[in-house]
Amino acid sequence: MSKRFGIPARTEDVVAHEIAHEWFGGSVTESTWADLWLSEGFATYFAGLFIEKYDGEDAFRDYLRNAAARYFAYEKQHLTPIHDTETQDLMRLLNENNYQKGAWVLHMLRKRLGDEIFFRGLRDYYRAHAEANATTEDLRDALEKVSGQNLHEFFKRWVYGTGHPSYQMSWSWKAVTEKNVTVTITLNQTQAAAPFLDPVPIEVVARGLGSSRITITPTGKTTTAEFTLPWEPAVVRLDPDETLMREVVTK
């Protein structure tokens, strides 16, 4: 239930989704059916942004969690990329790849680039293609120009590739001086497919002494990193702000 509007959450996000299509899908229309996520993924994510603004961060996170769960269930039956050039039955493209995973791709780009750059890039993309057509490469180009970042590998893995990462994390620590300890974190990716190389945020929490944020950038299926901290860790959390569409595997 929407706390702000007193209506079922499903009604709220459907209405917001359809209104978002006035801009993405209506004004800026995908050039090919393989680019359908530029319509459905955008509308799905912008419905989430509406929820974030009016119902708060917790409701937004629930919305994204539900979207991820729906995609994970779909992927078990259909391992295809978002940019799907093989499916000829167009109604079959109205799937969790283009809706839920597409929304998550936008969310991950937002978290990687930051709000100011991400939304400026979307405005540039919209203005360049309003009342016309656009491709996935047009979106990538707009975001690269505004951010100065090379996003080829991100799009190659998340839009043109398949699947999602499943992380299994282990950690340990040892004292190196009277005031410092070394924390060793090993990150394994357990999915059958190739590794995802997105930076993974980690939170290291000390009992009663606060916490520290660090980032591990995978180089393959297994990555080990060491960090020096001024206190003994009590808890280590993987992606605490849920910025990646991932599963976490426990031993």
Q: What amino acid positions are annotated as catalytic residues?
A: 18
- The number of C-alpha atoms within 13 Å of 51 and in the hemisphere containing its C-beta is 26
Residues 46, 20: Cα–Cα separation, whole Å: 6
Q: Are 171 and 225 in contact, with CB atoms under 8 Å apart?
A: no
Q: C-alpha distances in angstroms, 108 versus 69, 91, 134, 200, 245? A: 16, 27, 21, 11, 8
Tokens of 219: 């180089």
Q: C-alpha distances in angstroms, 156 versus 81, 153, 211? A: 10, 5, 34
Start-end of H helices in the chain = 9-20, 37-55, 57-77, 102-113, 115-129, 136-147, 152-158
Residues 142, 121: Cα–Cα separation, whole Å: 6
Q: Strand 132-134 to strand 210-216: parallel, antiparallel, or no bridges (unpaired)?
A: unpaired
Start-end of H helices in 167-251 = none
